[in-house]
Amino acid sequence: MNNLKEKVLILGLLLLAIYVRIHYMDRGFFYDELYTIVHCIQAPTLYDALYKDFTTSNHLGYTFIAYPICHLFGTSEWTLRFPALIFGLGSILLFWYWSRKYFGQAVAILGSLFLALAPAHIIWSASGRGYSACIFFTILSTHLYFSLLKQPSLKTSLILALSNILGFCFNLYFLCVFTAECFHFIFTCIMPRVKNKSLILIPLSLGATILGTLITYSPLLTILKGMAREPGSFMPDFPVILLKDLLSLPLWPLGIICLILLLIGYSRPNKELPDWPIYTAILFLMIVPIWLSKPAYLYPRFFAYLLPFIFLLIANGIIRILEKLPQRAKPYLGAIIALVLGLICWTWLSRSSKIVEDFCYKFRESVKFAESVASPQTRFCAFGPENGFFQVYSHRPVTTFNTFEDFIKFCREENEIIGFYIMGPPMPDEDKKMILFTIQFIKPKVVIFDNVIVSDLKS
């Protein structure tokens, strides 16, 4: 394939990626995005946005970028999600550039196509979260690390440290990528296969990463220690859930086919990167200690960094099969592989909207409905731990209550009230009392929008 044709093909892939993502950019905010808006974007200063109300829903790197954008151009679905879209598209381009250099054009284009159409990558590229950025910095860090092994350079060493620090800022589970680099470097030193200068520059880069990350998270170290000690329940089927969510495919038969291709791709030798299977194995094995430690919060999206390596291995497996086939059999098996790939892509395109449901709370729809049925004198109120979320979409003031008595007083003063609350998150006792009161004594008309309830309270 000549250079011009390849560039045209990659441009076409990027345009396809934009097309399948742009449809989801203006959907209503989901829970984590609204948390970012209420607790971070609306904070008085950037420092408050980054450190005041830190939880796992606050990705420091993403808040750092989204805060000025939303303050300059206004808070909307597009302004909050635009950085994720850029990182998502950038990760496809970067994946092609890096994998082409070491695995060949066919693997690079095939893997880029998978990233462009994968539902998990689509939704992460159209959500105001740090997962598409985590993928971007995973690929960039891996590229810089192997470049530094082959060609020692102080500049590359410093850029690698910066890339790793930024990766940590967008997702703390970037620790798995950093750990893979550390263990892989130790392995290559034992063999030994590292140039003398790299023996200094790589530890320098890894040390700078640790220092920079500690400085970045220094105001949060006490909180992070508390989170690490918070126990969670053991999820015996988590590895299966993880595979299903990342592949976005039914395990039988397509998921099993992809798993077989992944294993075949792992076994394909690579002269340019003879030790890369060690690095990849560590990336995947990092799931085990995290899973067994039973963290309080454990979701498949935390392991977003694995996605490009999954598709790299699958594409590598396909090319490996085609390389080993006798010349006569290539057209037949090639047609079968093309059919399977077509089925996978068709399944992805038909399942993308289904994946979006996990990233959608219907706050916007519920508030619009309430405003459409409300009279000028109707007052809005909200219950629950994140009752301020409804104010983001409401053109009217949304009253919230600290105590049950405040709510009773509000009900006595107002004749027409519409209330909102979210199903799912744990609710404070005072809010439970308010909701039970409305159900038992007011008996409101209730309209349910998936996970958001709108109740018409007539005093």
- Render pLDDT for 260-299 as a digit per residue (tens, 0 to 9): 999 999 999 888 887 889 999 999 999 999 999 988 888 9
- Render pLDDT for 424-440 as a digit per residue (tens, 0 to 9): 777 888 888 888 888 77
Letter string b/e over residues 382-421, b meaning 16 or more CB atoms within 10 A of that residue's CB:
bbbebbbbbbbbbeeebbbbeebeebeebbeeeeebbbbb
Question: Do the bridges between strand 445-449 and strand 452-458 make them parallel or antiparallel, or are there none, so unpaired?
Answer: antiparallel
Its pTM stands at 0.93
Q: What pLDDT is stored for residue 93 in this prediction? A: 96
Q: What pLDDT is stored for residue 248 in this prediction? A: 87
In which band, very low, low, confident or very high, does the pLDDT at 124 lie, cut at 50, 70 and 90? very high
Q: What is the mean pLDDT of residues 121-147?
A: 96
Q: What is the mean pLDDT of residues 387-400?
A: 92
DSSP letter for each residue of 369-424? HHHHH--TT-EEEE-STTGGGGGGT-SS-EE--SSHHHHHHHHHH-SEEEEEEESS
- Render pLDDT for 362-390 as a digit per residue (tens, 0 to 9): 899 999 999 998 999 999 999 888 888 99
Q: What is the mean pLDDT of residues 312-319?
A: 94
Q: What pLDDT is stored for residue 389 in this prediction? A: 92
Q: What is the mean pLDDT of residues 296-306?
A: 92
Q: Which segment of 136-140, 206-210, 409-413 scores lowest on mean pLDDT?
A: 409-413
How many CB atoms lie under 10 A from the CB of residue 371? 15
Q: What pLDDT is stored for residue 161 in this prediction? A: 97
Single out the residue of 277, 284, 293, 188 nearest to residue 235, CA to CA.
293
What strand order describes the sheet that includes 379-382? 398-399, 379-382, 416-422, 452-458, 445-449
Q: What pLDDT is stored for residue 122 in this prediction? A: 94
Residues 6+ apart with CB under 8 A from 89: 14, 17, 18, 125
Q: What pLDDT is stored for residue 421 in this prediction? A: 87
Q: What pLDDT is stored for residue 115 in this prediction? A: 95
3-class DSSP state for residue 328? coil
**Which residue has better confidence, 232 or 170?**
170
- Render pLDDT for 323-351 as a digit per residue (tens, 0 to 9): 887 777 777 777 888 888 888 888 887 76
